[in-house]
Amino acid sequence: MDDLLAEFLAETREMVSALSGELVAWEANPADRDRLDTIFRFFHTVKGNCGFFDFPRLEALSHAAEDALADVRAGRRHADARLVDLALAVIDRIEAMLAEIEERGEIASGDDADLIAALSAAGEEPAMPVARPGGPGGSAGKSAEQRTIRLPVDLIDQVMSGVSEMVLVRNDLSRRLLAMGGESGLEAPFTRLSNLLNEVRDAITRTRMRRIEGLFTTFPRLVRDLSAELGKQVLVDIESGEVELDREVIELIRDPLLHIIRNAIDHGIETPEQRRNSGKHECGLLTITARQSGNTILIGVMDDGRGIDDEKLVAKAVDVGLLTPVEAEAMNREERIELMFEAGLSTAAAVTQVSGRGVGMDVVRANIEKFGGSLEIESAQGEGTRFLINVPLTLSILPSLTLRSGEQTFALPRSYVEEIVSPIAGNLEFADVGERRYLTYRDRRLPCVNLGRALGLAPSQDAAHPVYVVLRLGWGDLYALEVDAILDHQELVIKPLAPALMKSGYFVGCTQLDDGSPVLVLDVASIGYGSGIPRELQRPSAADRAAKSESERDRGLQVMLLRDLAGRRQAVPVGAVAKVERVAVSAVRLAGADSTIACGDDIVPLAGIPDQADLPDPLLILHLADGERQLAYAVQEVADVVWLSDTPRPAAGSPDIAGLVMVGDEITELLDCHALFARRCGAIAPAVGMTCRLVGEEGWMRGFLGPIVEAAGYRLVSGEEEADIAFVDAHAPQDRQIPARRAIRLHSQPLASGTEDGIYRYDRAAVMAALLRAGEELAA
């Protein structure tokens, strides 16, 4: 009997969660006979089951709702808003009774006569029988139901844990077979076993997934009730398709979504009178969508209301002391909208049950980021606002980066990783300000957090060179996490963490590596919070920008003074310089006026190289940018930044010089950036027609190296097709036949100069340079 009762409760709760949305949709279209039949069948089923379990109060209430809907089906009653209100009230009371059964095994005595009497009197005006729609204008038929079985969640988790252990053993066995050089005779059976295990793991993972529409069906009722409370008219449009999410993610995303929807109706959508006055339809539209993009789900909540009033946000921030008037004046609209995430800041005129306490959007975003998601906002004044939530598909299997700090190994979600950089190539610049170290990365100064110090770990004795993992937090800011070494990229099975460790706030779970060793999964956002990153990642002070703008008036042109490789004094406008960095000479391809250099993912033109020059290593270059293109300019040194007030004198003999000026007592050439771009940009074309093969760990090769290769113009190939160039994992067997004309070996650890063939796989400049050289040699 206990098993039967548990089945009854689970089935009834599942139907109740979907029924509120069905009732609201039926209210909007009373002619929908299919939906009416669905609602009727629910109450009929509950009534029948209650007789079996001896719940007379629940049986009587369900019977009354069933009779009312039967009269509507027969045309003896009219389907109106009052009847829908009463049906929803019955749903609420049924939910309360289910909770009592779960808690005490019985329903407390009570009187439902008032609700039953109201049901018998509602919609008494006769109406035409509700016709079943058909033809092109009818509602779409439902797809055939799948065969299902109910299982305890604990049992599914136990099976998932067992499969995860088998995956670890499989990976360990794979390593051992690889070490044997492929001569054991077990390769074919192992491959088949591995494929079967992957299929089982995928199937078990899918058992944890739930259709997101199960969550979305509760929203129409919420919108209906809240709109009535606020005196507004709101139509909700839901588009969820076949999107599925991990059940844990659905529970985590529920409260943030509810808060965003309440805010949209309360703050965003206007009253009918306000909408008419502004030329809109008096009924507002709230659109809720979900779609899958790779391993993430994008959930959008969009309203066609008034949009975010950034002026009111700024005024409130100034009023409470978060901003000064000068800072507020210098902020753009995007910066002003960000103020809605300040804790305790609310623009509501009065505190209500819906909003106005200033406790909300900051907590919403923090909760979303806690499980690896992000929240973005777009808003247009008078047109509406769109919230876009990006959440992981599942929390059970997570693409991860494993790393080492001190003597400990950790993992972090790969979705946070923007780039991995190493100072070995000599192209990183650091500055220490107070107790904080800063790293210059792609023209941005990023604060660095040493993971070992943040976690209180003893320093490693053999950490020769630190590695910096550039992490992008949910709101778009970056910081660099300093670690001792990057170990690998893996898809790891994430498991819950002991409560004592969760309290530290630095971890989101734990996992096991292939060898069975346990590893903690880092909470990237919390490590940033704990190190003061959010406070220090603010853009330059608005007051500083305003003061700078005032001081720059009537001062002429600000330039950067430098020495070129021939020793000449030159100057370049500061506004044209995107960044200054040192690059290994190996990244340079010399071809006169068509010289190029590999910079990150790009191959850009290189100017400033004299004929027959011996280049210093590393080479100091200026990145010049016009907003769309890049140009690298090689220099000997950067001397100073000064202001030029004199008009340049004409200079003859060099098309790249705009004129001559006196700086101090020395003649200085002013570079003509327009001429530099006109003569050299556009000279680089991708390696059209060339192909590249990636041989090694599939996830890392495709996810990290693939985009770099494709950006350079190479087409990725697989199967038996021969490639022009192949990138090969250095751990692959040496005698393995690679169908490619040229192979480049990639090592997982930094290499000492001249020790081994190949390059460090995280040295992006070296990877690009090797690709460039190989392409040139094959084309020659």
pLDDT > 90: percent of the chain: 4
What are 490's two structure tokens?
């893996």
Sequence-distant (6+) residues with CB within 8 A of 546 are 326, 329, 330
CA 274 – CA 278 distance, rounded (Å): 6
CA 388 – CA 67 distance, rounded (Å): 43
The top-scoring range by mean pLDDT among 176-185, 337-346, 381-390, 744-753 is: 381-390
Half-sphere exposure of 356 (CA within 13 A, CB side): 8
- Start-to-end CA span in the chain (Å): 82
Among candidate residues 511, 487, 484, 488, the one with its CA nearest the CA of residue 406: 484
Residues 642, 638, 439: CA angle, nearest 5 degrees: 105
Q: 423 near 466, Cβ under 8 Å?
A: yes
Q: 720 near 687, Cβ under 8 Å?
A: no
Burial of 38 (0-12, 13-18, 19+ CB in 10 A): middle
More confident residue, 123 or 683: 123
When the pLDDT of each residue in the chain is averaged and rounded to a whole number, the result is: 77
Which 3-state string (H, E, C) describes 305-370?
A: CCCCCHHHHHHHHHHCCCCCHHHHHHCCHHHHHHHHHCCCCCCCCCCCCCCCCCCCHHHHHHHHHH
More confident residue, 604 or 144: 604
Q: What per-residue confidence (pLDDT) applies to 736?
A: 67
CA 256 – CA 264 distance, rounded (Å): 12
Query: Given strand 408-413, what is the order of strands in its sheet?
Result: 485-493, 397-405, 408-413, 518-522, 507-512
pLDDT at residue 557 tops 60: yes
Rounded average pLDDT over 677-687: 58
Q: What is the pLDDT of residues 35-84, one digit of tens each?
A: 888 888 888 877 777 766 778 888 888 888 888 888 888 778 877 778 88
Question: pLDDT band for position 681 (50/70/90)?
Answer: low
The top-scoring range by mean pLDDT among 345-354, 363-372, 374-383 is: 374-383
Asked which of 99-108, 121-130, 475-484 is least confident by mean pLDDT, the reply is 121-130
Q: What per-residue confidence (pLDDT) applies to 275?
A: 92
CA 180 – CA 448 distance, rounded (Å): 42
Asked which of 147-156, 377-386, 530-539 is least confident by mean pLDDT, the reply is 530-539
Whether the ω angle into residue 618 lies within 30 degrees of 0, i.e. cis, is yes
Question: pLDDT band for position 153 (50/70/90)?
Answer: confident
Half-sphere exposure of 486 (CA within 13 A, CB side): 27
Helix axes 247-263, 361-370, angle to 10 degrees: 160
Rounded average pLDDT over 549-560: 57
pLDDT at residue 410 tops 90: yes
Rounded average pLDDT over 272-277: 92
Q: What per-residue confidence (pLDDT) applies to 426?
A: 58
Q: 727 near 705, Cβ under 8 Å?
A: yes
The Cα diameter of the chain in Å comes to 103
Q: How far from chain centre, in Å, is Cα 519?
A: 23
Rounded average pLDDT over 695-704: 70
The H or E element spanning position 775 is: helix 764-779
Helix (H, G, I), strand (E, B) or coil at 763: coil
More confident residue, 552 or 111: 111
Q: What per-residue confidence (pLDDT) applies to 533?
A: 63
Asked which of 324-338, 345-359, 668-682, 728-742 is least confident by mean pLDDT, the reply is 345-359
Rounded average pLDDT over 471-500: 76
Which region, left, alpha or beta, applies to residue 592 given φ > 0 means left and ψ of -120 to 50 means alpha? left
Q: What per-residue confidence (pLDDT) applies to 297?
A: 83
pLDDT at residue 539 tops 70: no
Rounded average pLDDT over 632-659: 79
Q: What per-residue confidence (pLDDT) applies to 535?
A: 40
Which 3-state string (H, E, C) describes 627-667?
A: CCCEEEEEECEEEEEEEECCCCECCCCCCCEEEEEEECCEE
Rounded average pLDDT over 741-757: 74
More confident residue, 346 or 238: 238
Question: pLDDT band for position 756 (50/70/90)?
Answer: low
Q: What is the pLDDT of residues 584-608, one digit of tens each?
A: 888 888 767 778 888 766 778 888 8
Q: What is the pLDDT of residues 608-623, one digit of tens each?
A: 888 766 788 888 888 8
Question: pLDDT band for position 355 (50/70/90)?
Answer: low
Helix (H, G, I), strand (E, B) or coil at 141: coil
Beta bridge partners of 404: 409, 485
Question: pLDDT band for position 301 (50/70/90)?
Answer: very high
Q: What per-residue confidence (pLDDT) applies to 611?
A: 74
The H or E element spanning position 184 is: none
Type of residue at 120: S
More confident residue, 349 or 498: 498
**Which regions of 353-504 does DSSP assign to beta strands (E)?**
374-380, 384-392, 397-405, 408-413, 417-421, 429-433, 436-441, 444-450, 467-472, 478-483, 485-493
Q: What per-residue confidence (pLDDT) applies to 286?
A: 92
What are 522's two structure tokens?
């880092």
Sequence-distant (6+) residues with CB within 8 A of 191 are none
pLDDT at residue 160 tops 70: yes
More confident residue, 395 or 716: 716
CA 360 – CA 340 distance, rounded (Å): 9
pLDDT > 70: percent of the chain: 80
Quick one: CA dihedral 30, 32, 37, 43, positive or negative? negative
CA 737 – CA 743 distance, rounded (Å): 11
More confident residue, 774 or 344: 774
Helix (H, G, I), strand (E, B) or coil at 382: coil
pTM > 0.85: no
Question: pLDDT band for position 464 (50/70/90)?
Answer: low
Sequence-distant (6+) residues with CB within 8 A of 85 are none
Residues 707, 711, 716: CA angle, nearest 5 degrees: 65
Q: 240 near 222, Cβ under 8 Å?
A: no
* Backbone angles phi and psi of 555, in degrees to 5: -105, 0
* Backbone angles phi and psi of 122, in degrees to 5: -75, 140
